[in-house]
Amino acid sequence: MKRLIILCTVLSLAACKEHVMKTVANVADDISAPLGKPGNAKERETQRFDSRWRQLQNFRVQQIARFKQLAARTQPPKPLIFVTGVKEKFKGLDAIAINNSPINVPVTGDISGPSVLKAQVYLDRVHFSVGVIDGRWGRNSAISTWWWQRSHGMEATGDVDEATFRSLAAAAGFPDAVVPHQLTADDVKGPFVHIPDDVYEQQRLDCLCYQSLREKLAEEFHSDEDLFPVLNPGVKVEDLQAGQTINVPNVRPPLTTDQHDIAQVVISIAGNSLNGFDANGNLVFHAPTTVGSQYDPSPDETVKVVKIFDHPTFHYDPTLYHEVPDSMPDAHLSPGPNSPVGVVWIALSKQHYGIHGTKSPDEIGYVSSHGCVRLTNWDAAELERRISAGVLVSFVDTKGAEAKVARR
């Protein structure tokens, strides 16, 4: 009888363990999270030059490993010319003129022009993403610069001076910031669909695909849609065909194979940034994020990656939204770049929390969400290749850090 009881107990524990494992898997597979309300241009403009991130603890005192300078290893193919105090503009400049223009330093404040565009492209190419490249300076670019300087043994200011620009240019390989690109059949391929605002109407679509060729090309080249007319004056993007050539930002190519080199992720809630570190503690990936709002804040804790989904199906669960009645029906949305979670969902060990892409890349870094960590689709796609299940994800600069800084 005693052996029978022990056997039953063992079998019960095994069954319980199997049930728990299935439950965890089901939780991870249920890709549902609050969508959040869309932002607006006025709010993004207000936040573009919000510099309170500089006072956050994570940016002031966190120590990270130093990289060796790359500038001494290579020399530019042509001399870099620096000027100061010049008011730049894009008007009247073609791609060659943009690439050959002097670099106006420091790159800081409310400025736009070729120097800003070059700095943004170089930051993107060295995997310190600025989010959307638009040729205009702002908080996302400044924070990426700050982390580059900090991790490379330079004085961290968030402003691009001559030394910082030379370091970025060398690490990027001294490429032209703007290059010609001959459109392929895949570049111009649809389908292009209209995405309705109503989630229940979205549910009827077979794919939450791109809405236009302009949107697709902007995402392919990590750019604001309004940058294409600047680089291609007089060109009607929607009329472009395969075989035609356009000017594009010379951004980093997408990863096509897994490299799983990120061993830890640190996310600054108030600082709107995600940092990926390798096993030796070196900062190897940075991206701006949009994180939890005051209603549904992101977790002030360390969690871990549970599972990674490429082009996920999204479960719209009304019970997760404070502004939506719980009595409303669920909806299941098809995958696509205009999905609420973009092209990637990285499920975390806290239910309904994840790192994911977005359908609104221009909002990243400026507008808060309901609790998940949003990246541009291109940054989320890179993170997918570089992260693995089990990687720890820590949240810092939380518990009202932003409010505390504002009172200083």
Q: What is the pLDDT of residues 309-349, one digit of tens each?
A: 999 999 999 888 777 888 899 999 999 999 999 999 999 99
Q: What average pLDDT score do residues 77-102 get?
A: 94
CATH architecture of 255-406: Beta Barrel (2.40)
Query: Looking at per-residue confidence, does 25 or 183 come out higher?
Result: 183
How far is it, in rounded angstroms, from Cα 191 to Cα 194?
10
Of 62-76, 248-262, 301-315, 343-357, which gets the smallest average pLDDT?
Answer: 62-76
What is residue 38's predicted lDDT score, i.e. its pLDDT? 58
10 Å Cβ neighbour count for 51?
11
Q: Delimit the domains of the chain by residue range.
A: 51-177, 180-249, 255-406
Which three-class secondary structure string do you get for 152-209?
A: CCCCCCCCECHHHHHHHHHHHCCCCCEEEEECCHHHHCCCCCCCCCCHHHHCCCCCCC
pLDDT at 309: 97
The number of residues making up the chain comes to 408
Residues linked to residue 290 through DSSP beta bridges, in sequence order? 374
SS3 for 103?
A: strand
- Mean pLDDT along residues 206-231: 97
Mean pLDDT is highest, among 20-24, 32-36, 90-94, 183-187, for 183-187
| pLDDT the model gives residue 17 | 36
**Is the distance from CB of 98 to CB of 250 less than 8 angstroms?**
no
Assess whether pLDDT exceeds 70 at residue 222. Answer: yes
| pLDDT band at residue 16 under the 50/70/90 scheme | very low
Asked whether the bond before 106 is cis by omega within 30 degrees of 0, the reply is yes
pTM of the predicted structure, to 2 decimals: 0.82
> How many Å apart are CA 212 and CA 301, to the nearest integer?
40
Q: Strand order of the sheet with strand 373-374?
A: 283-288, 273-277, 264-268, 392-396, 302-310, 344-348, 354-356, 373-374
Which residues are bridge partners to 305 per DSSP? 348
Judged against a pLDDT cut of 80, whether residue 234 lies above it is answered with: yes
User: What is the rounded distance in angstroms from the CA atom of residue 292 to the CA atom of residue 322?
Assistant: 14
Q: Is omega for the bond preceding 191 within 30 degrees of 0, making it cis?
A: yes
